[in-house]
Every structure is written in C-alpha cells, then in structure tokens.
Amino acid sequence: MATLDLFSLEPAQPANPAKLRLLALRDQLHHLGHAYYVLDAPLVPDAEYDRLFQELQALEAAHPEWVTADSPTQRVGGQALDVFVSVRHAVPMLSIRTETDTESTGAEAFDARVRKELELTPADPPVEYVAELKFDGLAMSLRYENGVLVQAATRGDGEYGEDVTQNIRTIGQIPLKLPAGVPPVLEVRGEVYMRRDDFEALNEKQRDKGGKTFVNPRNAAAGAVRQLDPGIAAQRPLSFFAYGLGEVVMAEQGGPAFSTHYGMLQTLKSWGFPVSALVDTAQGAPELIAYHQRIGASRDQLPFDIDGVVYKVNSLALQQRLGFVTREPRWAVAHKYPAQEQVTRVLGIDVQVGRTGKLTPVARLDPVFVGGTTVSNATLHNLFELRRKRVRVGDSAIVRRAGDVIPEVVGIVSSGPRTSYVPNFRMPRACPICGSTVVREKTEMNHRCSGGLFCSAQRKQAILHFAQRRAVEVEGLGDKLVEQLVDTNVIRTLPDLYRLGLTALASLDRMADKSAQNIVDALEKSKQTTLPRFLFGLGIRHVGEATAKELARHFGTLDAIMDASEEALLGVSDVGPIVAKAIRTFFDQPHNREVVEQLRACGVTWPEGAAADAGPKPLAGKTLVLTGTLPTLGRDAAKDLIEAAGGKVSGSVSKKTHYVVAGTEAGSKLDKARELGVAVLDEAGLLELLK
C-alpha cells in the first residue's frame, strides 16, 4: 500500500525556477516539520532544517510577492496587536457535562443515561464509546479554507471567542497547510496545552531572571495564547491535540466519509493533525471503567496534565439522535480525577541543601492528599519566589503536585489567624548542613553553600566532579559506585577515596575482586596529576578547565592561588570580579582548605612552579585544531600534549590556525583548513612536532 504524501506539490507548476525552488522548499519544510513535531521522528539534523529554512527566507525576502500564509516562515512574524478581535463560531463550541463522581459509578451512570435515551433494554448489546483524555489546557478552533489555516479562535463563551491566529501559528504541531482532498472549509477543534517538562523549564528560566512564574501548565498555556506580541508567544513552548470538528463544508464531489467519532479522529491524524495515541474504543460501562482506571494509574507518568477522561458515543448517527440538553451533548461526558491542587496550612519553612549546594526554602505543611499521594513538604524554589508569593508560617497555601514534578506552593489563599507577628523568612548566613558561608551573586536568584568539598549534601557531586576524566580521572568510579560508597558511609569526605582498601571495596554489592583491584589501581594512578586538573577537580564555582589552566600558569603553585587576594586574582587572564570572589570565598572556608591538605597528605601530587614549566615548549604561541579520530591518541590526550608543549587547542579553523591535526572521518574542519591553506598533520606529524 502506497504511503500518503501529506505535503505533495500541486500539479500546476510555475515556469520560474526560483519560484519552483521556493515551492519545493515549503513542501519539504512542511514534511520535515510534521515528522519532527507530530510524529516525534526527525528526518534530518536541526542544522539541515535551519539551512533549508534560511534558504526559503532568502527567496521570500527577494520576492515578497510570493509570501503566503501557509509558508513555514509565517509561523512567527506578525505584528504585535493592540487588542484581540472577537470571532463568532460558525458552530458553537459547547461545553461537556462533568461527572464529578470520580469512582466507577460515574461511568455506569453515564452509560445508563445513554441507554435510557436510546430506549435500549438489558438484552440489547452494549453501546460503543470512544474514550479520550481530558486535557488540562485551552480549547481552540482552527479554521482552514482550501487547505490553508486562516483563523484560530479561543472557545470564549462558546458562541464568541477571540482571534489568536498569530500566536497559534507559532505551534509547530499545528499544520499551516493541509493535503489535497480535505474539505474546502474545515474547522478542527482541539486543545492547546503545555508539557510538564516545558512548563518546568519555562518557570526555571523565569526564576533565574527574577520574572513572573506560572501557577500551572494550563495558566502558562493560556497566557501564551493571549499574548498580544506573537514573538513572545513563540518563546512559550506550546503543544496541540485535535479531538473534534466544527464547521465542515464538503466539496460538490463529496468528501471524506466517516460514520464514527473514532474514524473521524483517524482521518484528522491522516491529514497531519496530532491525535493522542491513548484514544480508544470501549464497549459499554465495564470497558469505560477499565479505561478510567488504566489512565488514572498512569496519570502521573503522562508528559502533560489531564484532569479526567472523556466518553463519547462512537456512532455519529447515534450522537445526532441523542442530541443536546441545555447546550451540552447527551452523548458525551467528562469523568474527573481527584484534583492535583489542594489548600493546606503552612506549619513552618525549612531550608534544604541540594547536591550542587543550592539552598531551597521548603514549606512544611499540614499533610494533604494531592496528586495521588500525601504531601507534607513543598518547594518554594528560592527566597525571591517566596517573597513574591508572600508566604508566611500560618498561611493557607495552594499546593500543587502533578506527575513526577516536586510538590510546590503556587500561591496563598489567605493569611490564617495569628496570635503574634510572624516575621518574614530570611535565608541563613551559614549552611544548615556544614556551617560554611552562604553566598549569592548579584546576578543570581539562588543562594549557595560555599563548602563544596566538605558539605555532606554535596558529597556525591563533589566526588564525581573530582574523579571525572578532565579532572584527576579515577577510571571506573561512576555514579552508581559513588552512590553506593556514600550511602553506606564507606566514604564521608573526598580524601576518604584514597584511604579505600581492597577489602572495603570488595565487600560492596556486585563488586568482584578484580573490579575492586581495578578501582584501587585507578586511585593510585590518579594521585599523579597536574595543577590545572586538580584545581578544576575541586569544583570551585565558575572555575572551568580554561580558568584553572590560567590560574596555574599565572601563580605556579597551589599555595599561591589559595592565598591570593581578589585584587591579585583579577590580574589573571580569564578571571573577572565574579570568578575572583568565588575563588576567594572557596578558599576562605577552613573546611575546604582542610580537605585540600588531606588530599595532599594522601599522596595526590603534581609538578609545581619551575617544575611545571620545565621542558621544551615547541608549540609556544601556536594554535592547533583537532578533527577526526587519531590512531592511538584520544582527543583529551592529544589536547594535553599540545598544551603541555605550550600550544593552544581551538575548536574552529581560521586564518590564525597554525596546524590542523586530522584523523579518520575528519569533517568540515579539514575542508576549511585546505580552503585556507592551513598545514594539515596526522598523528605521526603531531608527535614529530612535539619532539
């Protein structure tokens, strides 16, 4: 059976080659966009899509008279509006009756009402239904004329909505152009929503810049849809599911024929609309109940919020026969689940220290059942979020929990009666775990513990960072092993790593004698390192590999770095005020200095001062670029050799590049080198150069 091409070109082709190319690009980009946004199966790398998109933009810029509403470039580009225009729905967007009984009896009651209206007896076969998710988003009507999206409107009061076409165009899942054969006028009804991961990322970005955060994904989606500036709307990650039809005007020669609601959904899917994969048919009340329970059990694992499921009589003929009552269809009902937001009392505000040292205020709550579990603690994210929400002990707070998202306080209902004044919450000046100084940079919203090496809350993160490949490199010391060592209290501080014996390691679960010996050998090998690697491994905030190298080059010894003033640190290339303060704060903590001294006492060492700079520097002042796979040297090893010889390794080729070292499967960097006349070496050539 041939595969339907949703975006094939129309048969009549203009003679102009540029316009032919423009139409072909639009067709290709529509096809690629459908695969990416709807099917979740990208066909080309992002860079290739961007290249095609930019080519189309250039053609349209050269020929503005060829720009049409269905072009992929028109997803974003409309002017900001002063106000939304009111739109009258050709077919009213009616609401569905809600069954608030969250038990199985809710489905039984709906089935009983349907059977009664259809005058069915117990002897008659069960009614066939379609069961769908009740998305917690914003209802939307999409109007297509001759296969092109011309209008998107909100539900509003059901009869009148608002024209939000410019904003809806920014949603990649919504097709701007439909395939040949669709009705000349087609209104598709569905739900605009925001995925939970997109919602969390949006709120985190807002918190980082001190902006407004959103209560829940539905509010965030509604706010994005009603942005007067489509450029802002485009920055809010929205998604869409189709679930019904509004006005449909068929062509004279007829149109798609379907007799069931389920068949209609599959037709919408074939036209390029996203339809939930969890839509199913159900025979009678027992299968409706099973669907409600099945979705309820997996509700927390869904990537988006729902607040129930929807049952609809599948037969369109029976839907028409059942009709409506008080503007609600008799043939459909929404069957709810327990709410994911509840109100409870704030009993106290504690502070938790995360694995990266971030301090988070957490509300201690009067336990409340929300989102399928009992919640007694909820995050307040940071001090500024807490103040914005005006949370104090004794308040009645709205608590939200959805899926795997950490429960959070999203707002305050009221301040409870207080017998005495409750002061505003203040962040502690010392870490509640280790007593180190708490710091907050002016450009950040978060407070952090500065005792990274010593603080037990950060222990796992500190060890993993120290042992990684670009730091001191302890081969074989991965996440699971570190977690086991810390959780069983085998190691409490970083120097404990070097006190590990074969017996202690071999006693761990699933640790064979040979594996234990490999770890012991790797730890012994890691004791011989370099000052830049050791500095980077300490995990000082803002000190990456490049900065660690500059510090080592400038000061020569670790002691000189630890004792350097902020003014002296500012004299180092690549070190500004924020980095200098972070380094000074780190080494001002006695705990951190103690850990460093213990590591040195355990035998961790490196060449310092003159010894570090000893030996020839044949690549001093030279810039090299690595590309492809070398026969024996890993990229990191090659980089270390080049830098030890005084050279600099760059990520891109330019006229300032002295050599490109190319291995197998070298890519565009090799082409660029040849184009610019840059000398190209293989591994043997590099090793010869290093002698």
- Residues 464 and 375: their CA atoms lie apart, in Å, by 32
CA neighbor of 533 nearest in space, from 523, 547, 522: 547
- Helix, strand, coil share of the chain (percent; to 5): 40, 20, 40
Give Cβ neighbours of residue 451 (< 8 Å, ≥ 6 apart): 357, 431, 434, 435, 436, 437, 458, 589, 591, 592
CA neighbor of 462 nearest in space, from 497, 427, 505, 435: 497
Q: What are phi and psi of 84, to 5 degrees?
A: -80, 140
Alpha carbon 126 to its chain centroid, in Å, reads: 44
Give Cβ neighbours of residue 446 (< 8 Å, ≥ 6 apart): 358, 359, 382, 440
Dig out the tokens for 682 from the structure: 């293989």
Burial 392-424 (b: 16+ CB within 10 A, else e): bbbbebbbbbbbebebbbbbbeeeeeeeeeeee
Give Cβ neighbours of residue 166 (< 8 Å, ≥ 6 apart): 78, 81, 230, 233
- Residues 311 and 401: their CA atoms lie apart, in Å, by 25
Catalytic residue, chosen from 19, 116, 134, 205, is 134
Positive or negative torsion for Cα 621, 626, 630, 633: positive
CA neighbor of 442 nearest in space, from 586, 592, 546, 581: 581
Question: Is 691 assigned a catalytic role?
Answer: no
Q: What is the dihedral of CA 152, 156, 162, 166, to 10 degrees?
A: -40
Dig out the tokens for 510 from the structure: 């699933």
User: 101: exposed, middle or buried (C-beta count within 10 Å: 0-12, 13-18, 19+)?
Assistant: middle
Alpha-carbon distances of 625 from 616, 634, 661, 670, rounded to whole Å: 21, 14, 6, 9
DSSP letter assigned to residue 174? S
Residue appearing with tokens 């067709």: 27
Give Cβ neighbours of residue 76 (< 8 Å, ≥ 6 apart): 169, 170, 230, 231, 234
Other residues' Cβ atoms within 10 Å of the Cβ of residue 360:
19
- Residues 477 and 464: their CA atoms lie apart, in Å, by 8
Report the number of secondary-structure helices (H) and strands (E) in the chain: 25, 24
Residues acting as catalytic residues: 134
